[in-house]
Chain A
Amino acid sequence: MPLENKHIYTISEVTQAIKKLLEEKIGEIWLEGEISDFAIGPNGHFYFSLKDQSSLIKAAMFVYANKGLKFKLENGLKIVCFGKINAYGPRSQYQIIVEKIEPKGIGARQLAFEQLKEKLLKEGLFEASHKKPLPFMPFRIGVVTSGAGAAVRDILGILQKGAPCIDVLIRSSRVQGEEAAKEIAQGIEDLNQFNKVDLIIISRGGGSTEDLWAFNEEVVARAVYNSALPTISAVGHQINTSLCDLVADCFVETPTAAAKIIVDKKNALLAELESLKQEAGFSVGDIISLLKNNLTALAHAIKSPLDRLQEKEQVLDELLAGLNNNMRQFINITRERIAALIHRLDALSPLAVLSRGYSLSVSMADGSVIKDADKMRPGDKMKTILSAGALISSVEEVIKDERKTIV
């Protein structure tokens, strides 16, 4: 074919054709790949390559598209992006102009998690001020978990052994899969509505991040936040803290640890009761020994007047000794006085009168001293006592005025 019959393209023309072809035939697409050669241009545009095992495509993400990005792009990161394939003539290059980008697989969930976390944080769901204190002794606990899982077995085992005074109410729910989050949230609401437990444990045993994802969902986070009953989140996990953990009043790493909190509370209370009992005993002991001391002090106070009494006794003894002397003197004086009186009495004795020639006559009838002749009758017997001896005689005649006759 002669050359002049051929259409000869200019560079620009063919570039334009390629560009048109690419943009029309491929246009806007979703593309998946791994980031490499990542760089940020002076104007903030991102430039990188996306590759799989065998191919590579250049990519650009301009600043208007990348400024809202929630996560950092880095080499090795697998992403899914949305963009438009375009040809760049000056360098004979085709590339994808990226509009949206998301990490691939778990990364996308992680992104969602981070976004939700930020939203809930802004709303105040993690605020310490919202957290309720755990009851100091929850006698009835509610557990939201799978009735067939390891978590419930662990919790019941620990409680049975360490705190069998605890009653457990299980609200069984799926803990993994599509419906899990909704069921967990419903379980929390049900236990609140039933209102017969003091505390709710939201739990599942260990698993992959994927397995535990339900505990990161908004509906669970909000149910925990809205629970009037205190909550413990006990979701077995190794690395990440779940949103359920962040909202709950308390969180632990394993179901076992949650049950142990309660066992510890019980043991601490038992110890406190014991020490209160002891303290009460000590106090009563103190009161009694205080009273004892008071008594001893009082006894001392009582002893002191006793001492004074003894002192008084001594004085008394001395006084008595003095008294005795006085008494002796008194007795002696008395004795002398009596002697004098006896002497005087001697002088007055009728015997002395008789010795001077007087006599004394007494009636034989009644022994009375005869002082009046008129008391006697002729024939009456009388005894006349003389200074020496006596006479018994009969009255011959009674003369009433003998004294005259003598005179």
Chain B
Amino acid sequence: MKEKQSFEDDLKKLQKIVEELSGGKLTLGESLKKYEEGIKLAESCSKELESAEHKVELLMKKDGKFALEKFTEGEEK
């Protein structure tokens, strides 16, 4: 399950890292470490966007309680 919040957090972290890297105030060791971290974040974010789970469900409500059902296209519920 993808979490919008963690994705946003990761992206923000990545943006910050890129900013720090372009700031040019890091030592070579620090920047290599940041770079590695940044690439990892970018890869994991891309992976989330490229995942192909595409879960489709139907939200049902019975007696005030929610239930999820598999959605079958063309079926009236």
Contacts and interface: CB of A to CB of B under 8 A. Distances in A.
What is the interface of chain A mostly: helix, strand, loop, or mixed?
helix
B10 to A, nearest CB: 10
Contacts of A269: 11, 45, 49
Contacts of B17: 280
Contacts of B3: 139
Contacts of A138: 4
Interface string B18-54: 1001101010100110110011001001101111111
A273 B14 contact: yes
Contacts of B55: 167-168
A152 B77 CA distance: 13
Interface in A320-369: none
Contacts of A152: 73
Contact of A280 (B8, B38, B54): B38
Contacts, number: 133
A241 interface: no
Nearest to B46: A273
A168 B57 contact: yes
A288 interface: yes
Contacts of B38: 276-277, 280
A165 B4 CA distance: 12
B66 to A, nearest CB: 5
Contacts of A193: 66
Interface in A126-176: 135-140, 142, 146-148, 152-153, 156, 159-160, 163-172
Contact of B59 (A146, A194, A277, A291): A194
Given A138-B4, A287-B21, A167 B31 contact: no
A148 B21 contact: no
Nearest to B7: A137
A170 B59 contact: yes
A280 B35 contact: yes
Contacts of A273: 11, 14, 42, 45-46, 49
A280 B66 contact: no
A198 B55 CA distance: 15
A172 B54 contact: no
B59 A148 contact: no
A281 interface: yes
Contacts of B59: 142, 169-171, 190-191, 194
A148 B24 CA distance: 57
Contacts of B56: 156, 167-168, 170
B73 A156 contact: yes
A137 B75 CA distance: 29
26 contacts: A135-B4, A139-B2, A139-B4, A147-B76, A148-B74, A163-B49, A164-B51, A165-B54, A167-B57, A168-B54, A170-B58, A172-B77, A190-B66, A198-B4, A269-B49, A273-B45, A276-B42, A277-B39, A277-B42, A281-B35, A283-B18, A284-B32, A286-B22, A287-B21, A287-B28, A287-B31
Interface of A: 135-140, 142, 146-148, 152-153, 156, 159-160, 163-172, 190-191, 193-194, 198, 266, 269-270, 273-274, 276-277, 279-281, 283-284, 286-288, 290-291
